[in-house]
Amino acid sequence: MSTVPLLHSMPHRRRAAVGFARLAALSVVVAWLALGGGCSRGSATSGFSPTWTPSATVSASAAPTLSPEQAAARATALAMEPPDPYTPQFTPEGAITAATYFLELVPYVGATGDLDIWQNMSTEDCEFCNGVGSEAAEIHDAGGWTDPWVQEITPLEWWTDQEDPNRYVVRTQVTSEGYTEHPTPSAPSQQVDKFDHELLIQLYWSGNDWAVEALQITNDEDSE
C-alpha cells in the first residue's frame, strides 16, 4: 500500500513543564506515516558506540536572589553533561540511535538551557522541537531551571516512507521518574509527575545526519 500522511491534533489543555509532559499541552498538527502491510518495518534494537561530540555544557551562574539551597540546585542542573554522542548512520539502527539520543536531550535542555544540540537535530517546522526549545529558553532567561531527571527509553519498532526512503518513524517507550521545574527564582517550584508514554518520532536523513521532523504521544489520555 502507499504511505499516506495522517493528521493528528493535540489540543491545549494546561501548561506543562519542559519535557514530554508538555506534549499534552502543545497544540500541533503533524503529518505521520500510516501503519500498513506495505511499509518497510522492523523491530528495534540498540547498542552503538557514538563518536560525535556536541558543544560544551552551559556554565553555571546562580541568580543573586536565590537561596543557597536553590543556587546549589541550579548550579547542579547547569553542570549536567549532555548525553553520550552518537555516530550518524543511514540504517534502521542509525535512525533508532538518533531518535534515542534526541529523547535523551530533553532533560539536558531543561536543566541547562543549552539549545545548540537540540536545534541542530530539529527541523524548522518541528512543533514539538520548537515548543520545548522556546519554553526552556523562557525559563532560563527568567533565572529558572529544571532539575535533571532519569528516564528509560526502549525502542520498539521502526518503519519507512515508501515514497521517500530517507524518512523513518521510530516507535519507542519512554518511562520517566517525576522531576521539579523552577520557573523563576521568585515563583514556586512545580512538580511534574512520573509518566510512561509511547512515542512516534519522525526523522529524515539529510545525507550526513538525522533531523527530527515531528514527535507525538500515541497513548496520552489528554490527546485527541
- Residue 174: inside a domain: no
- Residue 147: inside a domain: yes
List all residues 6 or more positions away from 48 whose beta carbon is below 8 Å from its beta carbon. 86, 87, 93, 97
Q: For residue 125, which of 5, 30, 1, 7 has the smallest C-alpha distance?
A: 30
- Residue 58: inside a domain: yes
What is the average pLDDT across 124-153? 94
Q: What is the pLDDT of residues 21-56, one digit of tens each?
A: 444 333 233 333 433 333 556 655 443 333 344 444
Q: What is the pLDDT of residues 156-183, one digit of tens each?
A: 999 999 999 999 999 999 999 889 999 9
- Residue 186: inside a domain: no
184 — pLDDT class (breaks 50, 70, 90):
confident
Cut 0.85: pTM above it: no
Domain that includes residue 120, residue range: 50-154
- Residue 76: inside a domain: yes
Q: For residue 157, which of 51, 24, 39 has the smallest C-alpha distance?
A: 39
- Residue 120: inside a domain: yes
Domain tally, the chain: 1
- Residue 160: inside a domain: no
Q: What is the pLDDT of residues 63-105, one digit of tens each?
A: 457 888 889 999 999 999 999 999 999 999 999 999 999 999 9
How far is Cα of residue 105 from the mean position of the Cα atoms in its chain? 6
pLDDT at 207: 95
- Residue 33: inside a domain: no
pLDDT at 23: 45
